[in-house]
Structure 1
Amino acid sequence: MILTAALLSYLAITTLNILAAKLDPTTLTAGLLCLAAIFTIQLRHSQPGANRAPLWQRLTTLGTQALLTYLPIVVFHAEWGAMAGFLAGSLLLLLPSKVAWVAYGAVGLSMLVPPALDGRPALDSVYLCQSTLLTGLVVYGLSRLADLVRILHETRDQLTRMAVTKERLRFARDLHDLLGYSLSAITLKSELIHRLVPTHPQRAMEEVHDVLAISRQSLADVRMVASGLLDMSLEEELTSALSLLGTAGLEVHADIRLGTMNQQVDTVLAAVLREAITNLLRHSKASRCEITAVREDGRIRLSVANDGVDPTYRDPSPHSGSGLGNLSMRLNAVSGELTTTRGPDGTFLLLANAPVAPSRHPPDTEDDVLSSQEPAA
């Protein structure tokens, strides 16, 4: 609206100049029609994306505007000069930068001629040239400003949608990492309780207490995920994983040598361990598991290896297979990396590396991570 108001103001000035010339009705009507045509063409040139129109269309409308700008000068002389500013602005809007600025300057200089032909002082020629160039800059600036405001609003909407999508992905990843592990543990212990009830009721009661504790912790974790305040500890997850694997009857070997680390890295590696143990319990027939968590040269190396991967297994769930992709994205956020290796003898190794403290600007390779997801093992 500001752009349209500015264009109408310039149009009104030229209209007043024409009316003051006291021309015959036919000439006056022709002049007003030319003004309306120039205004319509200028609105088209000032529209967002007008510079992306085919070249022949831009040259055609610019040529028409040039004719409507210069031909009436023969009749109206210097009073028509304000319309040359519209042409100068259109040239800046529609042509490539180098050509546009040269043409813009040429239009301004051409306005030195009409006052001179009328025998006016040189100061009038300078004034008309300067006002033409100024009008061109105003038209160009307001048109570009309107386009930038539109882009700003579109970008703000896109950023809002991206923020919502990012939060949904965070919530989904955290729920997957937390509940996958907890539900697997509850399922495993429930199966154990089912076997123990007839012969070892006291032991079954102890396992029931463990199931209740896991379920309460799962509820607390879900609430923390919803509030975005989830922090996890790798050492605590290691203790829980060793206990759970022992309950499942696996032979476990652990090498744990950890020191202090950044809380974000600690949480990410704890999530990696949870997913690794969840996958091991759900998708493998392992009898032995080796867990290594050591700090070397300012980096934390976490590896989980087992001997029970089934190469023919495919999870039929329509939402399966996102766990390792989620972990890769988490590790990428702390400048870490995740690799998985399948051995020909049925072994599977998950290896995570991350710095003790993440860099401020980790590489953004989320697309690569998503495109290289492997099925959970």
Structure 2
Amino acid sequence: MVTKTARGILLAALICYLGITFLNLLSQSLGAYDLARAVFCLAVVFLLQLAHSAPGFSKARTRTKVMTLTAQGLFSFLPLIWFGVYWGAMAGFFAGSLLLVLPTRAGWTLYGATSLSMVVPAVLAGRGAIDVVYLVQTTALTGLVVYGLSRLSGLVDQLTKARAELARLAVSQEQLRFSRDLHDLLGYSLSAISLKNELVRRLIPTNPYRACEEVDDVLVISRQALADVRRVASGYREMSLVSELSSAESVLAAADVSVTVDAHDTIEGLGLMTSTALATVLRESVTNLLRHSKASQCWISAQVKDGVVRLTIANDGLVVGSHPRSPHSGSGLGNLERRLEDIGGRLFTRRLTDDFDVDRFELTAEAPLREHVPTARRIAEELQPKGRTDHVA
């Protein structure tokens, strides 16, 4: 709508200038042949000006620009021989086209030369100094109006395309957030449910009471998974690192993995985004441990020092001959790295060998105690429709 309005204003201005020139010619009581010739020249100049004022014409081939400018120049100056200074406004169109099509220095130089060239027909017509100045000034003003309105129309067109691209990127970002949250949240929950069900199946014949307790845990995890799906769908999700530490201990213990947790008390004072990001890191790490390792021991450490929270998860289940995956190589760790980068944090992975030649895998996440929302995130939040509380992940 805005683009059509800008183009409409430009079109109206061009038609008004053409109308003024046509009325000036009518005042000269031209014959039918001369009047038809004038209308034809006006139509050609109008069409050429529309082409030069079109967005993107400056990127046309050089040959095309030379041909159209030459044609407009001929139809702008040759009619001066037949109609005199009453045709002068069309030179202003040509001056505006020079500014639109040519490089800056050449365009302004020829624009000035075109405006000053109107001294010649005025002097040949025997006009006084005031008429000469008026004709030069009118040509210069017409050129500026044509140039300004054409550029405005082009800028509005660019703005419209930029807004459409921002909308497309926002949709793409939302799709990425949705898939990332589903991966990070449900991967852990579904792995835990599967593990617990296998444990229940083994316990039913020998320890029905313990099996019932594990079934209760499965119900709790299932309800949490359902709640997570609803939060992802609504675009809002908070997670607590303290709660995830307790959940990780329970799940790993059910998988017969010995867990050692060293968490500083101050992690309870984490910022919302930091707590959510680190809790997601812990979930993904436990999920990967259950799926891709043969761990018998796991060490989890969460410490705060100099305003930075360091979460470390290590296990002894790295398969011999394998290599730690890069944060860039898979969707899980890649998602974690991007989440931490969003709040100014970092993610490290490495392979260790202890004194007993046992291969260990260690993942370390660092994040500020109180995160600062990056500029890109703040802009994205401002672009979101009012009334929503989507987190840009």
Q: Is the 8 A contact 1:335 1:363 kept in 2?
A: no
Point out the more displaced range, 78-87 or 142-151. 142-151
Q: Distance in 2 between matches of 1:199 and 1:224?
A: 39
Cα gap change, 1:23 to 1:362, in 2 (>3 Å): closer
Task: Report the equivalent of 1:248.
Answer: 255
Matched, 1:71 2:84: no
- Segments of structure 2 that go 5 or more residues without pairing to the other structure are 1-7, 324-328, 378-393
Q: Secondary structure at the match of 2:205?
A: coil
Task: Report the equivalent of 1:182.
Answer: 189
Out of 91, 103, 114, the position equivalent to 1:107 is: 114
Q: Distance in 1 between matches of 2:69 and 2:375?
A: 49
Out of 229, 235, 260, the position equivalent to 1:228 is: 235
Task: Report the equivalent of 2:282.
Answer: 273
- Give the counterpart letter for 2:26 in structure 1: L
CA displacement 1:114-133 (0-9 Å, x = unmatched) = 22221222111111111111
CA displacement 1:22-71 (0-9 Å, x = unmatched) = 23433333222221111111111111110001122212211221121112
CA displacement 1:140-189 (0-9 Å, x = unmatched) = 12211222222222222222222222122212211211111111111111
For residue 311 of structure 1, report the CA deviation from its aligned partner.
Answer: 6.2
Q: Distance in 2 between matches of 1:269 and 1:82?
A: 69
Q: Distance in 2 between matches of 1:175 and 1:304?
A: 22
Task: Report the equivalent of 2:302.
Answer: 293
Q: Distance in 2 between matches of 1:252 and 1:285?
A: 14
Matched, 1:204 2:211: yes
Matched, 1:264 2:277: no
Matched, 1:332 2:341: yes
Task: Report the equivalent of 2:3.
Answer: none
- Give the counterpart letter for 1:353 in structure 2: E
CA displacement 1:272-326 (0-9 Å, x = unmatched) = 1000000101111111111111111111111111111236789xxxxx9311111
- Segments of structure 1 that go 5 or more residues without pairing to the other structure are 315-319, 365-377
Cα gap change, 1:6 to 1:355, in 2 (>3 Å): same
Give the TM-score normalised by structure 2: 0.87
Cα gap change, 1:312 to 1:3, in 2 (>3 Å): farther
Matched, 1:351 2:360: no
Q: Distance in 2 between matches of 1:111 and 1:343?
A: 84
Task: Report the equivalent of 2:148.
Answer: 141
- Write the mapping of 1:56-135 to structure 2, written as runs, cut at 5 A: 56-135=63-142
Cα gap change, 1:170 to 1:142, in 2 (>3 Å): same
Task: Report the equivalent of 1:369.
Answer: none
Q: Secondary structure at the match of 1:22?
A: coil
Q: Distance in 2 between matches of 1:189 and 1:263?
A: 30
Q: Distance in 2 between matches of 1:361 and 1:81?
A: 57
Give the TM-score normalised by structure 1: 0.90
Matched, 1:44 2:57: no
Out of 308, 323, 330, the position equivalent to 1:321 is: 330
Q: Distance in 2 between matches of 1:278 and 1:207?
A: 18
What's the RMSD between the two structures over aligned residues? 2.0
Q: Secondary structure at the match of 1:359?
A: coil
Cα gap change, 1:110 to 1:258, in 2 (>3 Å): farther
Identical aligned residues as a percent: 54
Q: Is the 8 A contact 1:115 1:124 kept in 2?
A: yes
Cα gap change, 1:200 to 1:149, in 2 (>3 Å): same
Q: Is the 8 A contact 1:258 1:295 kept in 2?
A: no
Q: Is the 8 A contact 1:173 1:326 kept in 2?
A: yes
- Give the counterpart letter for 1:174 in structure 2: D
Q: Is the 8 A contact 1:241 1:277 kept in 2?
A: yes
Q: Distance in 2 between matches of 1:311 and 1:49?
A: 60
- Give the counterpart letter for 1:262 in structure 2: G
Task: Report the equivalent of 1:32.
Answer: 39
Point out the more displaced range, 196-205 or 128-137. 128-137
For residue 336 of structure 1, report the CA deviation from its aligned partner.
Answer: 0.8
Q: Is the 8 A contact 1:303 1:351 kept in 2?
A: yes
